[in-house]
Amino acid sequence: MASQPLIDFETLDLSQTVVSRTELDQYLRQSGRFAMLDGVLHEDVEGRLMVGYKDIASDDWWAKDHIPGRPMFPGALQIEAAAQLSAFDYSAHRVDQAGDGTQPGNFVGFGGVDKARFRGLVEPDCRLMLCVHLLKCSRRMFRYQAQGFVDRTMVFEGEILGVLV
């Protein structure tokens, strides 16, 4: 059974980008084909919630080969997109909470994924909405609950673990 959505689409204005790809580049080191996050639409720092997006296009680098004739955005890349949103929130808003003197710009690595479930297809051309909620933030590690939506339907969920490298 799917978890309850982290956000209520009816109560949030998700029509405006509040953090652009250019601004994300100040915190995320992934670039080119592996920049899986196009922007952030909602930041609730006190509520520990972030909403971002990845526009999925039929001419994306993976679309021709996964799966020929019926492209599907790979689940591993969905998780990567959520991990990048989590890393952005941690780097932009949580580093000072770590309490160990870490500085913005340190590399945040992918530590793992737990409880991952894929509940629907992500096919071009669509917008994959990503929601992450901070569950735990310690000195060198964090954990976020993550969900992905297409047309307000949950397509994946899981928990993202990140580590400061």
Task: Tell me which residues are annotated as active site.
Answer: 66
CA distance 162 to 159: 10
Q: Where are the alpha helices (DSSP H) in the chain?
A: 21-24, 75-89
Quick one: which of 49, 56, 64, 45 has its CA closest to 8? 49
CA distance 51 to 22: 17
Point out which residues pair with 162 in neighbouring strands. Answer: 110, 142
CA distance 104 to 95: 7
As separate numbers, helices (DSSP H) first and strands (DSSP E) second, the chain gives 2, 6
